[in-house]
Amino acid sequence: MGTLDGKRAVVTGASRGIGRAIALELARQGARVVVNFHRNADAADGVVAQIVGAGGEARAVGADVSTADGAQRLVGACLEGFGGLDILVNNAGITRDTLLMRMSEDDWDAVLDTNLKGAFHCIKAAQRPMLRQRSGRIISIGSVSGLVGNAGQANYAAAKAGLVGLTKAVARELGARGITCNLVAPGFVETDMTAGLPADLLKAALGQIPLGRLGRPEDVAAAVAFLASDAAAYITGQVICVDGGMAM
């Protein structure tokens, strides 16, 4: 018996990295999972195959969550396929890092549209079924960059900081209906995004982490699975850093 048996979940940006680990962990705990992807259908199909191979239930759904139509289609696929929606994980995110003086308006808009507006669209689409059933878990994936800033990431830090405010506002709006809304803020995690870090930057990053190692996607997934469970029923509007102590 898993802690999420019978639950229906949507994980955005779930074809790789942290999103993939979250989808796998929610499934391991018993949830039926919609694995969202934007472009990488093969990778999403691989995540679904892994879940199904372990005895779980999942389906891959392509949708661009930076658009209202994409978010509606994604939530609709979960309602149609699994008969409801209990857990929404807003993980989809991109980076277009550069110093502010070189940052184009397109760089700014692309990151804000996916990382922040995407969460807005998905929450808006998910709240209707959650309100009807008077229960739900909304979990967004932020970043320590949104809490402490990071040079070269004005767009990314602004989007992730925006998720903090969005999380708290939604927690206040939906709490009376039994819906919780929380944010998990990872630090440096071993993903495709960090794999290309130069050795000197990696060494500098490790020097800022009291636990002395990079995080693993599974570290973040464990926190998400907890917030999605009944054990976290009295936790809402919170920011939980999974960062080895980096932003304490």
CA distance 184 to 243: 10
Parallel, antiparallel or unpaired: strands 179-186 and 8-11: unpaired
Q: Which amino acid is at 33?
A: V
- DSSP-derived letter for residue 234 is T
Please, what's the b/e burial string for 160-175 (b: 16 or more CB within 10 A of its CB; e: otherwise)? bbbbbebbbebbeebe
For CA atoms 95, 10, 239, 165, give the dihedral sign: positive
CA distance 247 to 114: 24
**156 catalytic, yes or no?**
yes
Question: What is the side-by-side strand order in the sheet with 136-141?
Answer: 58-62, 32-37, 8-11, 87-90, 136-141, 179-186, 239-242
CA distance 151 to 97: 9
Looking at 156, 179, 227, 242, which residue is catalytic?
156
Both tokens assigned to 186: 């990872």
CA distance 140 to 170: 11
CB 33 within 8 A of CB 88: no
CB 174 within 8 A of CB 182: no
Residues assigned a catalytic role: 156
